[in-house]
A and B are shown apart, each in its own frame.
Chain A
């Protein structure tokens, strides 16, 4: 077996920035034949490098995660490797059969039955017919839609549709597999099953390139990670280091906004973990800072901070007047509020922070209409490994559980 599976040299891909219509009308081509000179000059400004001078070697059997913001060039990179589009310059050598899953259910036809679509989709993904036939029962079993296999897929629920689509995709077994964000399908239980399936695939010595926004998935699957930004690989390292670098860059250090509240203006909200990494992880020491400006004189300004789950359920509220006296402010005074959590009691997920300004003496109750979104990540990097919580659900805790039984007393 060749030691190197994918070998990229200065791979670059330039796209023309769309001027509305990606395709041209015949008259534009005819017209532009006259002013070729102008076009050359304008060309540089109207192009964007989706992938720029990317050189990387992937060894056989490596599971490589590709992370980065939207538009960082991750998908463009996979599109080049899967031969959907050609690079503008540079080259890549692929050693071995390559398959790509850039989407689940490519080519599914709504009028065809589940059975027909398994064959059609499998064939589109590059599976030989004999292989589809051999693994057909396995695919159907994985999708959990045995009863509806002869029903047109247009009658499927969206959950059934993606389960079937993923089931086909999961049975593609080429030596090199390019996977783009296809795990984010179905409900939580099915996603776990998909992750397990991908894990099986990864453990069979296959080479996998895996683009994902789920740091947890990357951390649990990959042996190496590429952190991409603006078409380049910023960091090519072990998974925790790359994830740590990416999350730190992603964390907004603060959010500045006009709060549109009558009495107190909230100028800035920042929430970050104390210590070297700034992104939020469960149970890590965390600080929340709010900068405000009083619009009028307030003798006892205090705040309520609330954290809601993404669906709006109140998880906790902190009233500053319970533990501290209010701040005395004159009109125009700037001040700040700091809240320190010994251990952030939130499990990985998205939450919403809400703020109210309050004064008993002047009877103020200003609600900041904007919510500040916060995201808590999994403690997957070495910096934060110690903060792995013991609980499921939104609330994080470190708990000690002991089970005791009286010796010699049988269950009756």
Chain B
């Protein structure tokens, strides 16, 4: 036993009501990284239990969408595809898009779905949407492998531009987490989000050049188009993997700023309303 007089610096934690905007306390998220790991690990482990295809579902979803797009947009509508075979053109966009759409939907539901945790234990609530977005990244890997196979099939050799891929992925994840934080927090108080979400994802899909090339737009409009960061992500994927024309730098800059703004505002909004989660859920 330590003598009671021994002075040891003990951290003091003050619990009190807070008002308005609060500090993000990102250091605390780092301190809880092990829990984040376990939440992601749980999601991955449980996701494909009792399914025949297992992790194959991560491939099936973009692959079948690609087939449908190829038949309707590629063959019937004769959509231009920046000189790349249409199947691989659309699949290269569907890979980041599927990750984005899954991550967005899962993180939007993460607080409502994890209500039992929020009501019973303390941890930075950001971990729940953050965990879902991280888990959606894991699904990206098998889908990327299929993309590489598809490229080889169409005789498209990977080039050094591949190294730029993480940059575009970062923009995608930033957008996904930013929008996911907003939706997850709003979903706690306004369950309307649940009904809004499918519309939103569908609308966002058409607003992203997945089935069509963004080169259809005039250069000036493409910069405005960058307000949807996923447009730059898709263009970036096609450029770095397939050798399609790169997204204009101005467009990419607009996207990067939009994505960052979405994430920062999402984090602040989330922190602001976080204190009522346990009472509302």
Number of residue pairs A-B, CB distance < 8 angstroms: 119
A53 at interface by CB-CB < 8 Å: no
- A92–B14 touching, CB < 8 Å: yes
B21 at interface by CB-CB < 8 Å: no
Query: In the complex, A112 Cα to B279 Cα: how many Å?
Result: 29
Q: Which listed segment binds A: B41-49, B61-69, B170-178?
A: B41-49
Number of interface residues of A (CB under 8 A): 49
- A24–B38 touching, CB < 8 Å: no
Cβ < 8 Å to B, chain A residues 74-110: 79-98, 100, 102-103, 106-107, 109
- A23–B190 touching, CB < 8 Å: yes
Q: Which listed segment binds A: B3-11, B146-154, B239-247?
A: B3-11
Q: Indicate which residue in A23, A90, A106 contacts B117 across the interface (CB closer than 8 Å).
A: A106
A2 at interface by CB-CB < 8 Å: yes
- A22–B280 touching, CB < 8 Å: yes
What B residues does A25 contact at CB under 8 A?
190-192
Query: In the complex, A404 Cα to B132 Cα: how many Å?
Result: 72
What B residues does A1 contact at CB under 8 A?
2, 4, 6, 8, 10
Query: In the complex, A82 Cα to B188 Cα: how many Å?
Result: 21
Q: Indicate which residue in A92, A97, A120 contacts B15 across the interface (CB closer than 8 Å).
A: A92
Return B12 CB to nearest CB of chain A, in Å: 6
Query: In the complex, A92 Cα to B50 Cα: how many Å?
Result: 47
Q: Which listed segment binds B: A122-130, A194-202, A277-285, A389-397?
A: A122-130
A3 at interface by CB-CB < 8 Å: yes
Q: Indicate which residue in A87, A95, A107, A116 contacts B121 across the interface (CB closer than 8 Å).
A: A107
What B residues does A103 contact at CB under 8 A?
120
Query: In the complex, A106 Cα to B121 Cα: how many Å?
Result: 8
- B15–A83 touching, CB < 8 Å: yes
B78 at interface by CB-CB < 8 Å: no
Return B174 CB to nearest CB of chain A, in Å: 26
Query: In the complex, A48 Cα to B122 Cα: how many Å?
Result: 23
Return A162 CB to nearest CB of chain B, in Å: 15
Query: In the complex, A194 Cα to B174 Cα: how many Å?
Result: 46
A257 at interface by CB-CB < 8 Å: no
Q: A90 — nearest CB in chain B belongs to which residue?
A: B16
- A26–B280 touching, CB < 8 Å: no
- B188–A86 touching, CB < 8 Å: no
What A residues does B280 contact at CB under 8 A?
22-23
Binding site for B on A (CB under 8 A): 1-3, 15, 22-26, 29, 60, 79-98, 100, 102-103, 106-107, 109, 111-112, 116, 119-120, 123-126, 128-129, 205
Binding site for A on B (CB under 8 A): 1-2, 4, 6, 8, 10-18, 34-35, 37-38, 41-42, 45-46, 49-50, 116-123, 188-192, 275, 278-281
Q: What are 8 inter-chain pairs, A to B, with CB distance below 8 A?
A: A83-B15, A84-B278, A94-B13, A100-B121, A100-B122, A125-B121, A128-B34, A205-B1
